[in-house]
């Protein structure tokens, strides 16, 4: 049971078992029960289709997108907020009475001089900085492997009480050191499988060359499915790799609460001086942090806060 709990914390939450709050885990499990959270859902057209819905709504509201523009500092005082940013043409600024901050937790926690840092001038209040110290960004490296065919379609797992065909496989769990968790595109039977390296596994892989990481993924899969590595390399058509904690615009996967950090999410979500408002999965305090629906709900909550501001 202890090993299962540790595997759940590291694999599902990408968290350090020594740091994560048990109270927050219980709250998350209770929230899952309310929405059948144990059921797995997948957007078959990819998350781009979800973003497309938002894009259409924002276009209808004549919202202007500033792409390839990186925020560097946020200056706020006397009911005036100015965002200093940089795009390929040089510095640029934006001003408004209020600002909605949706930066990932890892970016909010980045210190001066660190990649991705956004400076607040003046600094955020002490209670907000304390909340940031009580939250942690999980670590993940992900590799997606696209093969020429679903070579596992007719394979069988014999370790179970009853041997099972892998044709219907959704998830594959193991005790491998590099990539312990895998999943397919089921119910769509595509020749694609995703490798997931959380926590310590991600720490070992983070910052490594992409070719090295992909090789470790293929090697792990060959051992799990008892298939020659050379055969898998021959079948491999394309690989897609992302090191979330090395990405300066994310600096991690998704958030979790530290031991003794109860209330930190609520504090992070609280507006500052009716000028700075906060959204994003790390600001969800209903048990859905670390999820897409939690992030969306936090945006709706923050929008209502702004609309109700006098």
Go through the domains of the chain in sequence order and give each one's CATH number.
Answer: 47-137+256-307 (3.50.50.60), 139-253 (3.90.660.10)
Burial of 184 (0-12, 13-18, 19+ CB in 10 A): buried
Number of residues assigned to the chain: 310
Question: 111 Cβ partners below 8 Å, 6+ apart?
Answer: 117
Are the CB atoms for 105 and 98 separated by under 8 Å?
no
Listed as ranges, residues in the chain with pLDDT below 50 are: none
> Could you report the per-residue pLDDT of 236-275, keeping only the tens digit for each?
999 999 999 899 999 999 998 999 989 999 999 999 999 9
Give the pLDDT of residue 176.
Answer: 85
* pLDDT of amino acid 289: 83
Q: Would you give the DSSP letter of residue 20?
A: B
Q: What pLDDT is stored for residue 22 in this prediction?
A: 78
The whole-number pLDDT of residue 39 equals 65
pLDDT at 65: 92
- In this prediction, residue 42 carries a pLDDT of 76
Helix (H, G, I), strand (E, B) or coil at 166: helix
């Amino acid at each position: 049971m202890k090993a299962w709990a540790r595997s759940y914390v590291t694999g599902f939450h990408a968290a350090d078992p020594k740091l994560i709050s048990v109270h927050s885990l219980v709250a998350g499990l209770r929230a899952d029960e309310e929405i059948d959270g144990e059921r797995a859902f997948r957007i078959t057209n990819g998350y781009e289709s979800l973003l497309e819905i938002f894009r259409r709504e924002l276009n209808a509201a004549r919202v202007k997108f500033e792409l390839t523009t990186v925020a560097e500092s946020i200056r706020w005082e006397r009911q005036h907020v100015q965002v200093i940013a940089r795009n390929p043409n040089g510095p640029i600024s934006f001003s408004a009475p209020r600002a909605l901050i949706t930066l990932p937790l890892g970016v909010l926690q980045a210190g001066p001089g660190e990649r991705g840092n956004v400076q607040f001038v003046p600094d955020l209040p002490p209670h907000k900085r304390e909340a940031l110290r009580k939250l942690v960004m999980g670590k993940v490296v992900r590799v997606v492997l696209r093969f020429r065919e679903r070579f596992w379609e007719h394979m069988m797992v014999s370790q179970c009480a009853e041997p099972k065909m892998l044709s219907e496989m959704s998830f594959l769990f193991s005790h491998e050191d590099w990539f312990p968790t895998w999943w397919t595109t089921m119910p769509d039977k595509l020749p694609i499988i995703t490798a997931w390296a959380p926590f310590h596994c991600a720490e070992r892989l983070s910052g490594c060359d992409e070719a090295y990481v992909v090789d470790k993924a293929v090697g792990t899969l060959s051992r799990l499915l008892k298939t020659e590595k050379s055969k898998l390399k021959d079948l491999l058509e394309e690989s897609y790799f992302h090191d979330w904690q090395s990405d300066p615009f994310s600096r991690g996967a998704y958030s979790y609460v530290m031991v003794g950090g109860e209330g930190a999410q609520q504090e992070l979500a609280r507006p500052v001086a009716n000028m700075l408002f906060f959204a994003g999965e790390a600001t969800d305090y209903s048990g859905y942090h670390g999820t897409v629906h939690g992030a969306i709900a936090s945006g709706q909550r923050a929008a209502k806060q702004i609309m109700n501001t006098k």
